[in-house]
Amino acid sequence: MALFPLTITHTDGAARCGVYHTPHGDVDTPAFMPVGTAGTVKGVTPPQLAGSGAQMILANTYHLQLRPTADVVRELGGLHAFMGWSGPILTDSGGYQVFSLAKISKITDEGVEFRSHIDGAAMSLSPASAVSIQNALGADVIMAFDECPPLPSDGETIARAVRRTVRWAAQCKQCHARSEDQALFGIVQGGLDPDLRRRCAEALVDIEFDGYAVGGLSVGETHEEMISVLGPVISVLPSDRPRYLMGVGMPRDLLAAVQAGVDLFDCVLPTRNGRNSQAFSRTGTLNLRNERYRLDSGPLEADCDCETCGRFSRGYIRHLFNAGEMLGPTLTSIHNLRFYQRFMTRMRELIREGRLARIVTEFPIAAGPAQHQQEESP
């Protein structure tokens, strides 16, 4: 019996929509979780975040353990109280960050020794410590500690990472001290090898987790490569457990993954791009530093119902970026966060109506090449 029920209400092909019931509230799926790396979704307050329609958010174990440490977060009441967010939270295990941000000193079957990317301090993470830290942080959903090799890696490196990831996942389940109130998800690794991915998923299903994630993607592979491994994995996952594609992605990636049956996503794009003056719209993206917006009195996106579009012009936001004002990143992040939620909401509606494919006519950006910036016509 999985911790926290997932109710699937409608399907459209492999795509599905429903409700994930957590102790801190219900989450309509497929859901997009904004990323609050260090205990804050950068540049926005929790009310602004809730105003975007976000129901569940992610925080990073690696960053929080570096600063201020999980002990401090626990002393200050746990992650929900700490960051002033009363909705559901998911923490990752730190695996991805250790392998992408930190300088690794040693990887063994016991865990990883590394140096902090902030101050070079010697640290380590193991299945037991990653779970213990997440127990202290107190998110609704926590993740098993995984080995996340870069892509491309040779077959033996990928296969060894899968073996370790499965063994570590079992250890994580074993030492999970809050299995009564924190769901634990296993993470499927296996690079771009569909067979390895499927076998990794099968092994994790045998151990049994409250949900299953697909990790190690969005690390430089193409959209088609990313999507190609989802089918083999999802074919062996139980339909009553949430499926979570980690760190993804552009609207096109989200659509293809939803069509493959994924329920949960997280990505820094809405806020990272917002800080870099890039706004999303249904038809493409806008770079607000562009001279063409100097006298543009229109909103970032016509018909958008966000706080930014209801009050401010492209010309004003361009000025904010040119003048280096904090409000530029904040207002553009607020719009982008709302854009992602509008996109997810519309996908859920179309799944209920059995016509998800129609989304690309309403959101042409979801038909475009992932990672590719399109400047929309003025």
User: Among 34, 43, 111, 190, which residue sits at the site for a second copy (rule: CB under 8 A)?
Assistant: 43
Q: How far is the CB of 369 from a second copy (least distance, A)?
A: 31
- Tokens standing for 35? 């990323």
| Alpha carbon distance 149, 153 (integer Å) | 7
Q: How far is the CB of 198 from a second copy (least distance, A)?
A: 39
* Per-residue CA distances from 91 to 63, 119, 251, 290 (Å): 11, 23, 23, 37
* Per-residue CA distances from 9 to 33, 137, 233, 278, 316 (Å): 20, 32, 22, 35, 43
Instruction: Tell me which of 92, 146, 210, 253 is the catalytic residue.
Output: 92
Binding mask 19-38 for a second copy (x = CB under 8 A): -------------------x
Contact status: 40 vs a second copy (CB under 8 A) = yes
Interacting stretch for a second copy, rule CB under 8 A, among 62-70, 159-167, 208-216, 236-244?
62-70
Nearer to a second copy, 68 or 231 (CB): 68
| Alpha carbon distance 91, 88 (integer Å) | 10
User: Among 13, 23, 25, 47, which residue sits at the site for a second copy (rule: CB under 8 A)?
Assistant: 47
Contact status: 330 vs a second copy (CB under 8 A) = yes
How many Cβ atoms from other residues are within 10 Å of residue 240's Cβ? 12
| DSSP secondary structure letter of residue 376 | P
Contact status: 248 vs a second copy (CB under 8 A) = no
Closest CA relative to residue 281, chosen from 211, 356, 336: 336
Contact status: 67 vs a second copy (CB under 8 A) = yes
Give rounded-to-5 percent helix, strand, coil for the chain: 40, 20, 40
How many Cβ atoms from other residues are within 10 Å of residue 187's Cβ? 29
Contact status: 292 vs a second copy (CB under 8 A) = no
Closest CA relative to residue 125, chosen from 104, 150, 140: 104
Instruction: Show Cβ contacts of residue 293 under 8 Å, excluding neighbours closer than 6 positions.
Output: 286, 314, 315, 317, 318
| 226 and 218 Cβ atoms separated by less than 8 Å | yes
For the residues of 258-296, what is the DSSP string, one character each? HHHT--EEEESHHHHHHHTTEEEETTEEEETT-GGGTT-
Q: How far is the CB of 373 from a second copy (least distance, A)?
A: 23
| Alpha carbon distance 328, 310 (integer Å) | 15
Q: Total residues contacting a second copy (rule CB under 8 A)?
A: 40
Interacting stretch for a second copy, rule CB under 8 A, among 95-103, 124-132, 181-189, 312-320?
312-320
- Tokens standing for 30? 């497929």
| 48 and 308 Cβ atoms separated by less than 8 Å | no
Contact status: 287 vs a second copy (CB under 8 A) = no
Q: How far is the CB of 242 from a second copy (least distance, A)?
A: 29
Would you call 266 a catalytic residue per the annotation?
yes
Contact status: 240 vs a second copy (CB under 8 A) = no
Nearer to a second copy, 72 or 121 (CB): 72
Contact status: 170 vs a second copy (CB under 8 A) = no
Q: How far is the CB of 287 from a second copy (least distance, A)?
A: 17
Nearer to a second copy, 138 or 211 (CB): 138
Nearer to a second copy, 108 or 297 (CB): 297
Q: How far is the CB of 358 from a second copy (least distance, A)?
A: 35
Q: How far is the CB of 299 from a second copy (least distance, A)?
A: 11
Instruction: Tell me which of 12, 210, 266, 296 is the catalytic residue.
Output: 266
Would you call 92 a catalytic residue per the annotation?
yes
| 337 and 216 Cβ atoms separated by less than 8 Å | no
Q: Which residues are catalytic?
A: 92, 266
Q: Which residues are at the interface with a second copy (CB under 8 A)?
A: 38-40, 42-47, 63, 67-68, 72, 75-77, 81-84, 294-295, 297, 307, 311-313, 315-316, 318-320, 322-323, 325-327, 329-331
